[in-house]
């Protein structure tokens, strides 16, 4: 008899880092739920790729910043597929603005998706994982949450918030063998960084000792490790994947 595959959910997995994480987890033997908000077509492309590699998964559309949607979706996952083993909170947005020009609506949107969205999903996943007495929750934060960045104060606040949140939850959930860790990517080549000008890219690379931008797979490798039993004694940690730009 085939053993049931462990279940992983990756938020914002229709492109970029999320797509790479979903693909890698599927290659490592997880059944992967690919979350997206509006772009079902792109999410389907990720799923098709996973299938072509022999992996399994399903699309799972919901908005992480809507707590009712999150609770409903996680309940229905539990009913149809069983409990989650791994949650990767990858969905994120950045709306850059200098502080004095920061609009309330942009601040609210950033905090709602990047911080509250991760908290809603973590709470819903923890409920299932606690009963199972196992689980791994991985937050995709940012180097900007550690070092700060001019013009990104709202984003930095949300991403830094994930660190305090995750360490607290690691303490709350440790006795249930649920591990909670934070990955802080540096500059990774995706749509999010594609908007940077050549001059901005050069300026950034001057502060990256390894001298190049990372790829989504560089984040996926660490997430795969944190989702696996090989990292069973690691919780409450913040791990940078940033080419040395912040130590």
How would you class 166 by CB atoms within 10 Å of its CB: exposed for 0-12, middle for 13-18, buried for 19 or more?
buried
Q: Does 16 bind ligand NAD (CB under 6 A)?
A: yes
DSSP-assigned beta bridge partners for residue 137: 87, 180
Pick the closer one to ligand NAD by CB: 134 or 189: 189
Count of C-beta atoms within a 10 Å radius of residue 183: 23
Counting residues that bind ligand NAD (by CB under 6 A) gives 27
Min dist CB 175 to ligand NAD, Å, is 29
Which tokens in the block code for residue 75?
């309940």
State the minimum distance, in angstroms, from the CB of residue 64 to ligand NAD: 4
For residue 50, the minimal CB distance to ligand NAD (Å) is: 16
Intra-chain end-to-end CA distance of the chain, in Å: 48
Alpha carbon of 156 to those of 54, 107, 115, 151, 206: distances in Å?
A: 38, 11, 10, 9, 21
Number of other residues whose CB lies within 10 A of the CB of residue 163: 17
- Which SS3 state, helix, strand or coil, does residue 168 take? helix
Q: Is 155 a catalytic residue?
A: yes
The pattern of x and - marking residues 22 through 51 that bind ligand NAD according to CB under 6 A reads -------------x-x--------------
Residues 181-200 interacting with ligand NAD (rule: CB under 6 A): 185, 187-188, 190-193
- Binding ligand NAD (rule: CB under 6 A), the pick from 12, 57, 135, 240 is 12
With binding defined as CB under 6 A, does residue 78 bind ligand NAD?
Answer: no
Q: Is 110 in the site for ligand NAD (CB under 6 A)?
A: no
Q: Which residues of 218-228 are buried (b: 16+ CB within 10 A; e: fewer)?
A: bbbebbbebbb
State the minimum distance, in angstroms, from the CB of residue 88 to ligand NAD: 10
- Chain contacts with ligand NAD (rule: CB under 6 A): 11-12, 14-18, 35, 37, 63-65, 90-93, 113, 117, 140, 142, 185, 187-188, 190-193
Q: Which residues are catalytic?
A: 155
């Amino acid at each position: 008899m085939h053993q049931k595959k462990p279940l992983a959910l990756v938020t914002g997995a229709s492109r970029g880092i999320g797509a790479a994480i979903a693909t890698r987890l599927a290659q490592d033997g997880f059944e992967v739920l690919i979350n997206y908000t509006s772009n079902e077509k792109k999410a389907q492309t990720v799923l098709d790729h996973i299938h072509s590699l022999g992996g399994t998964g399903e699309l799972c559309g919901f908005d992480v910043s809507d707590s009712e949607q999150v609770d409903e979706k996680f309940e229905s996952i539990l009913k149809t597929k069983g409990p989650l083993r791994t949650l990767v909170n990858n969905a994120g947005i950045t709306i850059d603005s200098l502080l004095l020009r920061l609009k309330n609506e942009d601040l609210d949107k950033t905090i709602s998706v990047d911080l509250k969205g991760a908290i809603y999903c973590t709470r819903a996943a923890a409920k299932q994982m606690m009963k199972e007495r196992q689980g791994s929750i991985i937050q995709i934060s940012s180097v900007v949450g550690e070092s700060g960045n001019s013009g990104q104060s709202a984003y930095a606040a949300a991403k830094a918030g994930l660190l305090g949140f995750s360490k607290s939850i690691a303490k709350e959930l440790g006795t249930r063998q649920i591990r909670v860790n934070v990955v802080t990517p540096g500059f990774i080549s995706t749509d999010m960084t594609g908007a940077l000008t050549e001059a901005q890219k050069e300026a950034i690379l001057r502060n990256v000792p390894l001298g190049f931008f990372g790829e989504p797979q560089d984040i996926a490798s660490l997430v795969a490790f944190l989702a696996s039993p090989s990292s069973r004694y690691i919780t409450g940690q913040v791990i940078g994947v940033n080419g040395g730009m912040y130590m």
